[in-house]
Amino acid sequence: MQKRPKKKQETQARLQDLVVVTFADDMTQAKDREALLRNNDIPATIREQEDETTGTNAIVVMVPEEFIDEAHVIIESQDAYDDFYDFALDDEENGEFDSDFYDDEL
C-alpha cells in the first residue's frame, strides 16, 4: 500500500490565501465545522475577526480559496442532515408523532 505524501508544507503554503467559508455561533460550532472539513481533506482554520458593521468579534472558519466550493457543499450537507434529524426529534418530543397511522381498523 502506498503511503500518502505529507501535506504539511503544502498545507502551510495554501493557508496563506484563506477565505471565510462560514461564520460560527460559538467556538464549539467552529471546532465542529473545522473537524468536518479536515475529515474531508480540506485544510481549515478558525479565526476571530472584528465585524466592521457592529464592532464585535465574529468567529469564522476559513479555508484556502481553491477549496471554497467543496467546503460550502460539505457544510451545507451536514447542516441539512442535522436539520432533518432535529425536525424529526422535535416532532417526537412534542407528541406530534401520528400514532393513529399505526392503528389497525378491523
DSSP letter string, 45-58: EEEEEE-TTTS-EE
106 occurs within a structural domain: no
Q: Is the pLDDT of residue 49 over 70?
A: yes
pLDDT of res. 68: 95
Residue 66 belongs to some domain of the structure: yes
Look at the chain and report how many structural domains it folds into. Answer: 1
Of residues 1 and 72, the one with the higher pLDDT is 72
Assigned C-alpha cell, 78: 451536514
Mind listing the pLDDT tens digit for each residue in 58-96? 999 999 999 999 999 999 988 776 666 666 666 555 555
- The answer to whether residue 65 sits within a structural domain is yes
Examine residue 70 and state whether it is found in any structural domain, yes or no.
Answer: yes
6 falls within a domain: no
Does 2 map to a domain? no
Query: Is the separation of the CB atoms in 43 and 11 below 8 Å?
Result: yes
Whether residue 55 lies inside any domain: the answer is yes
**Distance between CA 39 and CA 102 in Å, rounded?**
41
Q: Best-predicted range by mean pLDDT among 2-11, 42-51, 96-105? A: 42-51
Determine what percent of the chain is predicted with pLDDT higher than 90.
45
Q: What is the CATH number of the domain that holds 58?
A: 3.30.70
SS3 22: strand
Mean pLDDT of the chain: 77
Specify whether the backbone of 5 is left (phi greater than 0), alpha (psi in -120 to 50) or beta: beta
Domain boundaries, position 89 = 11-95
Instruction: Specify the pLDDT at position 2.
Output: 46
